[in-house]
C-alpha cells in the first residue's frame, strides 16, 4: 500500500524533529560549566556495559548448542570481542572486528 506524499512528509518531519530534540536536550539541561548530577554520571558509567550485556544475551538466545555448529561462531566472536576490548579499550574496534569475525565464521568456516 503506497504512502501519500503528505503522510511521508509528516513522518519525515516527526522523525527529524525527534532526533533534533534528543540531540538538543542534553545541551539545554546540562550547559557547559554546570555540575552534572551524580545520577547522570552514574548512568553514564553503568549503561554502556549493561547495554552490551543485553546485546550479547540477545545475540546468543537462539543458539542451539546441541546442533551444528554448536554455538562455536558466537562463542569465538564473543571471546574475540572481549579480548580486543580488554587489550585495546576501544568499543568501535572490538565490536567492529567481532562483527567481521562472526560474519566470516558463519559464511566461510561454518557453512
Name, in order, each residue with C-beta under 8 angstroms of 97's C-beta and a sequence gap of 6 or more: 80, 81, 84
pLDDT tens digits for the chain (111 residues)? 789 999 999 999 999 999 999 999 999 999 998 899 999 999 999 998 898 889 889 989 999 999 999 999 999 999 999 999 999 999 899 989 999 999 999 999 998
Enumerate the domain spans of the chain: 1-34, 35-109
Judge if pTM exceeds 0.85. no
Hunting for cell 509528516 — which residue is that? 10
Q: What is the pLDDT of residue 35?
A: 92
Segment holding 38, helix H or strand E: helix 38-60
48-55 long-range contacts, Cβ below 8 Å, gap at least 24? 48/91
Q: Summarize pLDDT for 36-50 with one digit per residue, the tens.
A: 999 999 999 999 889
Peptide bond into 49 cis (omega under 30): no
Q: What is the pLDDT of residue 42?
A: 96
Q: What is the pLDDT of residue 78?
A: 93
Q: What is the pLDDT of residue 49?
A: 86
Name, in order, each residue with C-beta under 8 angstroms of 82's C-beta and a sequence gap of 6 or more: 94
- Cα distances (angstroms) measured from residue 74 to each of 4, 17, 41, 55: 43, 38, 32, 12
Other beta carbons within 10 Å of 68: 8
Amino acid at each position: 500500500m503506497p504512502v501519500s506524499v503528505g503522510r511521508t512528509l509528516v513522518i519525515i518531519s516527526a522523525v527529524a524533529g525527534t532526533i533534533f530534540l534528543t540531540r538538543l536536550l542534553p545541551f539545554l539541561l546540562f550547559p557547559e560549566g554546570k555540575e552534572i548530577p551524580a545520577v547522570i554520571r552514574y548512568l553514564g558509567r553503568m549503561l554502556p556495559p549493561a547495554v552490551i550485556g543485553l546485546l550479547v544475551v540477545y545475540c546468543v538466545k537462539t543458539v542451539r548448542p546441541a546442533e551444528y555448529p554448536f554455538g562455536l561462531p558466537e562463542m569465538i566472536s564473543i571471546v574475540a570481542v572481549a579480548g580486543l576490548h580488554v587489550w585495546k579499550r576501544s568499543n568501535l574496534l572490538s565490536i567492529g572486528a567481532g562483527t567481521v569475525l562472526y560474519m566470516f565464521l558463519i559464511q566461510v568456516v561454518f557453512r
